Amino acid sequence: MYSSREVMKLGKVTHRQLQWWDEQKIVVPAHYGGNRHYTAEQLVEVRVIGELRRRGVACQRIRKIWPGVHRKLEQLFSGHRLTREDAYLLTDGEVALVLFAADNILGVLERAKRPLLCLYLSDHVRRLRPSQSFRAA
């Protein structure tokens, strides 16, 4: 578990962002004694959302695509696939896809009707120190 302070530092986000994402049920940490505590998976989610915000994706767009991204990340973490393979998030702010290097990422980019933002999800997992690893890492 990670404290809010640790998540702010590792996720490069503010306290207010964490608070708002909790209030909006985007990333909901455990609450102990008035403090928020995040799992490693939630820390990765915070890092991804923070990166989307830094790249100019509006909060409303993130709220729209996040349920699908969250479900996909949960599946990837439960199968430990995200810790072993290169995964990418592609979004135009309306739709989000999680693809792997083996998938036809270039094909998706070529067929896109609007510009797509591409985030390297695996990097957000691998940047965590080994002592902060996941269950299967």
In this predicted structure, which of 8-17, 34-43, 111-120 has the lowest mean pLDDT?
111-120
- CA–CA dist 66, 96 (Å, integer): 8
From the list 50, 18, 56, 70, the residue with the least C-alpha distance to 124 is: 50
Give pLDDT tens digits for 100-127. 776 677 788 778 888 888 888 777 777 7
Give pLDDT tens digits for 42-62. 998 999 899 889 888 888 888
- CA–CA dist 10, 47 (Å, integer): 8
Angle at 102 between CA 68 and CA 99, to 5 degrees: 15
Domain 2-132, CATH class in plain words: mainly alpha
State pTM to two decimals: 0.78
Question: Side chain identity at 27, as an amino acid letter?
Answer: V
- CA–CA dist 108, 105 (Å, integer): 5
